[in-house]
Amino acid sequence: MDVLHQLVYGSKSQSSWDDLKTVEFLKRIRAKNQAKGVTGMLLFYNQSFLQVLEGRPEVLSQLFATICTDPRHSQVVTILEKPIAKRQFPDWSMGFEHVSAEKLQSVEGFNDFFDEKTCLLDIDAGRAKKILTAFEQGRWQ
């Protein structure tokens, strides 16, 4: 059985994103991720990203190195990295949600985050787990 890891990171966008640009970007990365056995999801809020990547550790390491040098990202921060027994997002080559503050504030234990912070890369591992669980459970659909 393959060893699996989960990597959660946050970053700030260096460019603006509209819906068309996002759809085109997701088409490209979904195909690449599927070919590499990578699953996960991507949240976008206030020009910042929160992404979870799942797959073999060596694949995630290469992918994350590419992300860290991508000029579209700045302030890339690893929030959580750990081995996992099973994927949290097994059927998603890359789920995506452009979230609003209202959606984020509806997540229990996460709603106080926006009292002081405005960027997803500032969250800690505990809050990241809560928001990922809410997304996984489809509470935003």
Which residue range forms the structural domain that includes residue 87?
Answer: 4-136
The pLDDT of residue 110: 45
| Run of H or E residues at 111 | none
Closest of 41, 79, 36 to residue 58, by C-alpha: 36
Quote the CA–CA distance of 107 and 86 in Å, as a whole number.
Answer: 24
The two structure tokens encoding residue 59: 């694949």
The single-letter DSSP state of residue 46 is T
Name 119's Cβ contacts closer than 8 Å, sequence gap at least 6. Answer: 10, 12, 46, 47, 48
The pLDDT tens digits for 100-139 are: 556 555 555 444 444 445 556 567 777 777 766 766 666 5
Domains identified in the chain, total number = 1
Is 38 a domain residue? yes
10 Å CB burial of residue 44 (0-12, 13-18, 19+) is: middle
Is 141 a domain residue? no
Quote the CA–CA distance of 80 and 89 in Å, as a whole number.
Answer: 16
Q: According to the 3-state scheme, what is the secondary structure of 48-90?
A: EEEEEEEECHHHHHHHHHHHHHCCCEEEEEEEEEEEECCCCCC
Q: Residue 118 maps to which CATH number?
A: 3.30.70.100
Q: Which residue has the higher pLDDT, 99 or 12?
A: 12
| Residue 30 confidence (pLDDT) above 80 | yes
pLDDT over 70, % of the chain:
65
pTM of the model: 0.72
The pLDDT tens digits for 45-71 are: 777 888 899 999 999 999 999 999 988
Is 122 a domain residue? yes
